[in-house]
Structure formats: structure tokens, C-alpha cells
């Protein structure tokens, strides 16, 4: 894919912590229940930690009790991209930042949450930065 923000691995490594790099650039996953935003109730907008693109609103954040922040929709469909992921022997849909290609997490459907979309965007806290509403 070609992204608006393109950097070399060396540039990403210089800008991101080793943990951020692992998740955002190598599609890693942070441990459950330890992320900065797992239980956050602050009203605001969540942006990509790598490039600053606004991705999710606190208005769509919900308690899924899965160990990672969960949202039922992105701010707009063009803000994220979807990649089929069969890396663990099952079909999942990876969610990436559409601006820089940073790995955010995965989206799941049909799990029975009482959300308007019946989707759960399971997103790594380390992939995001929260800008509180003023």
C-alpha cells in the first residue's frame, strides 16, 4: 500500500519507542488489561500515535471487557483500512491507520454487543494518543 505518510524503518524507530514500533510497525499486540486507554472515560478523540490522524471518538468507545480499548466505529470509514489476517489460523480483520499504515488492532463482528454496528474495534492503547475535549 502507498500511504500519505511514508518513512523508512530507521525513521520510525527513531520516532517511536521500541514497544510502539513493535505494535505499530510490526503488527504486534500489547498485553491485555495494561493499556493506557483500556478503562479511560475521558471525552475526546483518539489519534494514531505514529502520525496523528484522528481515528476514533470517545463517543463510540464501550466496555467490552476484552482487555483492550473497544470502539464500535471509526470517526469515518476512510480513516482506517482493513486487511484480512489469517496469521493465527483463523480469519480476522486487521485495522490499520489509512494515513501511515500503522497497525491498530482488529475488528470483530457478530459478538452480541449492544452497539449500533455490532462491531468491536479491538485497538491497542499504544497505537493511540487521546486528545481530551476542551
Catalytic sites, residue numbers: 122
Query: Distance between CA 29 and CA 126 in Å, rounded?
Result: 9
Which grid cell sits at 82? 482493513
Question: Are the C-beta atoms of 128 and 32 separated by less than 8 Å?
Answer: no
Question: Are the C-beta atoms of 45 and 7 separated by less than 8 Å?
Answer: no
Number of H helices, E strands in the chain: 2, 9
Query: Distance between CA 77 and CA 55 in Å, rounded?
Result: 9
Amino acid at each position: 500500500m502507498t500511504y500519505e505518510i511514508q518513512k523508512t524503518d530507521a525513521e520510525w524507530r527513531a520516532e517511536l519507542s521500541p514497544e510502539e514500533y513493535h505494535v505499530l510497525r510490526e503488527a504486534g499486540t500489547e498485553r491485555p488489561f495494561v493499556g493506557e486507554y483500556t478503562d479511560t472515560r475521558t471525552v475526546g478523540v483518539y489519534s494514531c500515535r505514529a502520525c496523528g490522524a484522528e481515528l476514533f471518538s470517545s463517543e463510540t468507545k464501550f466496555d467490552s471487557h476484552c482487555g483492550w480499548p473497544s470502539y464500535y466505529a471509526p470517526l469515518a470509514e476512510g480513516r482506517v483500512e482493513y486487511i484480512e489476517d489469517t496469521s493465527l489460523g483463523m480469519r480476522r480483520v486487521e485495522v490499520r491507520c489509512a494515513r501511515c499504515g500503522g497497525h491498530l488492532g482488529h475488528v470483530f463482528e457478530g459478538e452480541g454487543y449492544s452497539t449500533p454496528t455490532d462491531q468491536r474495534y479491538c485497538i491497542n492503547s499504544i497505537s493511540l494518543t487521546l486528545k481530551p475535549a476542551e
